Amino acid sequence: MTAVSGIATPALSWSSVFSQQHVWIDVGIFVLLGILHTVANWTSPGLPNTETARGQSATNVNQIAIGGVTAVGILLPLSLAGITALASKAAPSKGVLINTFVADSWFTLSLLLGLCVLWTGAFQAPSRNVQNLRFVRLCAGWQLFSLMLGVVRLLVAAYMLVQHPS
């Protein structure tokens, strides 16, 4: 809360995040890509359910999900450590903080989706070809989209920091 004319007001509002930092564009891109991905992956590819095919499928799905989880595992703490280091010297601009928060929100969504893929794959791989599971296919794509949007927002925050450090 900040005091303006003796009245406590919120330092940040959802409307300022969506309008001033154009986060509605991120959400729109995520929804558009999500719809296209969902339509393209709604029906099962009908991959074989042999033991070899199940093993290869589980390996492929795990590698995709682990790659995204690893990227988030690096970027999320890195972004928070960077903001903490900057804040100890001088307060970064509101835009930098907002964009870093939005990036971290996208990274968190990516992490959750990746963990859902890994968890489902671990339990379903012994009996099914996990690439035939709609939930796994959809979550893997959505994980990639949210990771991509997080990286873009983190780059926007870095750009704003370089342009206007305080």
Q: List pLDDT tens digits, range 59-88.
A: 999 999 999 999 998 888 888 777 777 666
* β-strand pairing of 7-9 with 2-4: antiparallel
Q: pTM for the complete prediction?
A: 0.83
Residue 165 pLDDT greater than 60, yes or no: no
Of residues 146, 151, 161, the one with CA closest to residue 97 = 161
Contacts of 54 (CB under 8 A, 6+ apart): 125, 126, 127, 128, 129, 130
Question: What's the confidence (pLDDT) of residue 21?
Answer: 75
Q: What is the mean pLDDT of the chain?
A: 85
Spatial separation of the C-alpha atoms in residues 68 and 73, rounded to whole Å: 8
What pLDDT band is residue 42 in, cutting at 50, 70 and 90?
A: very high
What number is the average pLDDT over the span 26-35? 94
Residue 18 pLDDT greater than 80, yes or no: no
Q: List pLDDT tens digits, range 93-149.
A: 778 888 888 999 999 999 999 999 999 998 998 899 999 999 999 999 999 999 999
Question: What's the confidence (pLDDT) of residue 166?
Answer: 56
User: Which residue(s) pair with 8 in the sheet?
Assistant: 3
What pLDDT band is residue 8 in, cutting at 50, 70 and 90?
A: very low
Residue at 22: amino acid letter:
H
Cβ count near 65 (within 10 Å) = 24
8-state DSSP, 93 = P
Q: Give domain limits for the chain.
A: 22-41+48-163
Greater pLDDT, 164 or 166: 164
- What is the sign, positive or negative, of the torsion defined by CA atoms of 7, 21, 109, 135? positive
What pLDDT band is residue 2 in, cutting at 50, 70 and 90?
A: very low
